[in-house]
């Protein structure tokens, strides 16, 4: 397994500074939140994309992909009944596939809880159909760009649409494309009734990406959760790709969190 870290942890840092810092520490990859690049990341100039790709390449670190896809701009949703809004979202996600590929990435994590939730009085099956339709429409572009979209089940505290890995696997079957896989997040899995290692083993053949964090939002190793059984479960399903640290509590500062995460995970893998 290879170690990556999400860049929004490094608040207000330019991505080049994040790349230099993480490369010096020994991280293998960086996962990029598009909103950290620009207000309209889909319009990031071609020259800037090339510059970031080559800067990372020269530092021997990989910009592995994108997450927090629909954090901005406003007006994005895959579940809202307004057809024009969903078409705008589809077009925006197409652009993000291009951005991901231009940066050298090969995965996009779709979480976006508020932009996928079932509205009050809205039939669940309506949102299900919207989701299947939009992700199927993205697959030709994703496949031609070498990008996999990884759908992230999230806790009921965040959304009412796809809360368990089992539900996520059903969505994968409905979309039915090799470039549409499951993303597993430790914090989200902590709200399921099953033990996290069991969830991993049940999903082993469709895991496209993996986030490490504690239920309280800390980095791995600095909350109540033991990550050794989780790493062992990933080994059991022969997952040998990136595992990415996504912390939500930035209190101790990016440099400290990155250093502690790298040291802790280094002992486990």
pLDDT tens digits, residue range 135-187?
999 999 999 999 999 999 999 999 999 999 999 999 999 999 999 999 999 99
pLDDT at 151: 98
What mean pLDDT is reported for the chain? Answer: 97
CATH architecture, domain 2-268: Alpha-Beta Barrel (3.20)
Distance CA(160)–CA(178), nearest Å, equals: 26
Tokens of 34: 């598009």
Q: What are phi and psi of 183, to 5 degrees?
A: -105, 130
Question: Would you mind telling me the total number of residues written for the chain in this entry?
Answer: 269
Tokens of 145: 């760009």
Confidence of residue 223 (pLDDT cuts 50, 70, 90): confident
Please give the Cα distance from 267 to 263 (Å, whole number): 7
- Rounded to whole angstroms, the Cα distance separating 243 from 4 reads 6
Q: Residue 120 is encoded by which pair of tokens?
A: 């009050």
220: confidence class by pLDDT, cuts 50, 70, 90: very high
* pTM tops 0.95: yes
Asked whether the CA dihedral 109, 115, 120, 122 is positive or negative, the reply is negative
202 CA to centre of own chain: 20
Domain boundaries in the chain?
2-268
């Amino acid at each position: 397994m290879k170690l990556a870290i999400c860049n929004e942890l490094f608040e207000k840092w330019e991505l080049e500074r994040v790349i230099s810092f993480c490369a010096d520490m020994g991280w293998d990859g960086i996962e990029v939140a598009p909103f950290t690049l620009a207000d309209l990341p889909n319009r990031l100039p071609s020259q800037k994309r090339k510059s970031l790709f080559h800067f990372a390449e020269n530092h021997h670190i990989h910009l592995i992909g994108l997450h927090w896809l629909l954090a901005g701009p406003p007006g994005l949703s895959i579940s809202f009944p307004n057809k024009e809004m969903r078409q705008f979202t589809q077009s925006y996600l197409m652009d993000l596939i291009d951005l991901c590929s231009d940066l050298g990435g090969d995965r996009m994590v779709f979480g976006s809880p508020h932009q996928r939730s079932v509205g009050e009085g809205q039939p669940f099956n309506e949102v299900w159909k919207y989701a299947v339709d939009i992700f199927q429409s993205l697959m030709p572009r994703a496949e031609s760009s070498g990008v996999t979209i990884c759908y992230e089940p999230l806790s009921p505290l965040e959304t009412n649409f796809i809360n368990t890995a089992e539900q996520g696997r059903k969505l994968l079957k409905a979309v039915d494309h090799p470039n549409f896989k499951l993303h597993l997040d430790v914090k989200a899995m902590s709200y399921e009734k099953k033990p996290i290692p069991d969830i991993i083993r049940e999903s082993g053949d469709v895991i496209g990406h993996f986030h490490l964090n504690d239920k309280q939002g800390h980095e791995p190793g600095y909350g109540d959760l033991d990550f050794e059984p989780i790493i062992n479960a990933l080994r059991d399903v022969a997952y040998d790709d990136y595992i990415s640290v996504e912390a939500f509590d930035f209190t101790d500062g990016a440099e400290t969190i990155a250093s502690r995460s790298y040291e802790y995970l280094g002992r486990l893998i």
